[in-house]
Structure 1
Amino acid sequence: MESANDHKAHNRTYGSFISMLKWSVPLIAVITLIVVILIAE
């Protein structure tokens, strides 16, 4: 059974999450801006 303190797996998961966050937040912001501009016209 895996140890409850599996730091390598934690670091890998956290790194993956942060990497995904770095790309998804700006992408969502750009999509939101485009939609707002389209609605405002």
Structure 2
Amino acid sequence: MDMKSANSTYSSFITFVKVGTAVSVAVAALVVLLISG
């Protein structure tokens, strides 16, 4: 497999995971605030 394309795929995957995690944490915090409020 071409190393350059593998690297860019991996990099975009990591970015996607980071964004997904941040969104999940934000949504979870919002839900907790709504329930406790």
Question: Fold conserved (TM > 0.5)?
Answer: yes
Q: List alignment gaps of at least 5 residues for structure 2.
A: none
CA distance in 1, matches of 2:10, 2:2: 12
- The total of aligned residue pairs comes to 37
Whose Rg is larger?
A: 1
Q: Residues 1-41 of structure 1: matches in 2 within 5 Å?
A: 5-41=1-37
TM-score, reference length from structure 2: 0.68
Q: Structure 1 stretches of 5 or more lacking a match?
A: none
Higher helix share: 2
